[in-house]
Amino acid sequence: MATATEIITNFELQVSDVTELSSSEELYILNRVYNKVMSSRPWELLKTPASGTMLGSGVDGFYVTMPSDFAFFSPNYQYTNNTLSPQNNAAPVMIFIGTNNAVYQVVNFSDRRQYLGSTGYAYLDLANSKIVFTGTPISTTYSFDYIKAPVALTASATPIIPTRFQDVLVYGMAVDNEIVQMSPKATSYAQENQAKYDSMLLDMAYWNSKLILN
C-alpha cells in the first residue's frame, strides 16, 4: 500500500506543473480529501469493536467512556426488529452486556428520560464522551461496534483504503488543487478529475456493498 508521500508524488504527476503547493500544503489537502472519502459512508473497513468494563456505580449510574476515535455507532443489522422500540423501525444500535451478550438498545439522547431506571437501554452523551446506561445493567462488561474516525496521515503513514482504490485520493487532491490554483490550465482539467474521482468512489462503494452480508 502506498504511503502519503507516494500518493502525493502521484498527485504531482497527475497535475504535472499545475501546482505551487508546498509539501505541508499537499499533505493538508491529502488529509482533507482522505477525511472526505472516509466520511462519505460507513465503510466496512472503518467498523471497529469496543469492549471492556463499565465505570460508575449503582448510585451515580454506569457508563462507558467513548473510544477516542469514535465517529458513530455501527448498526447491528442482525437485530433489526420493529418490536424492539417504537422509535426504531430500522436497524437499531445495540450494546452487548455480560458473557451471554445480553442485548441493550441505544436510544436517542432526547428520549433518555423516559427510560431512566429501566434496564436494557443506554444513550450517547456526546458532550461528555460517555455512553450512559439508564438502569443497573446485569453485568459491567460490554462490547459494541462503531465506525472509527481515521487517524490523520503523516508523510510516512499509509491510508487504510485498499491499494486499488487509492487513486481516489489522487483525483480528489487534483480537484482541490484546481480550486486553489484557479489558473486557466488548472481549471481546464477540473471536470475530468472530478469525473475520475466520482467514478473511483463509486467503484469503492460497490466493493464495500459486497462486504455487507445483510
72 and 102 share one domain: yes
- Residues 162-201 have pLDDT tens digits of 999 999 999 999 988 876 666 666 566 778 889 999 999 9
**Do 204 and 157 fall within a single domain?**
yes
Number of domains in the chain: 2
Domain match, 38 and 76 both: no
In a domain, 104, yes or no: yes
- Least confident span in 90-94, 100-104, 114-118: 90-94
In a domain, 147, yes or no: no
- Tell whether the model's pLDDT for residue 71 goes beyond 80: yes
Whether residue 119 is contained in a domain is answered as yes
Q: Do 78 and 119 have their domain in common? A: yes
**In this structure, are 164 and 125 located in the same domain?**
no
- In this structure, is residue 110 part of a structural domain? yes
- If asked whether residues 129 and 161 sit together in one domain, one would say no
Which structural domain, as residue segments, surrounds residue 135? 55-139
Sign of CA dihedral 21, 25, 29, 30: positive
Q: What was the pLDDT predicted at 212?
A: 82
Same domain as 159, residue 89: no
Q: Domain check: are 134 and 69 in the same one?
A: yes
On whether residue 129 sits in a domain, the answer given is: yes
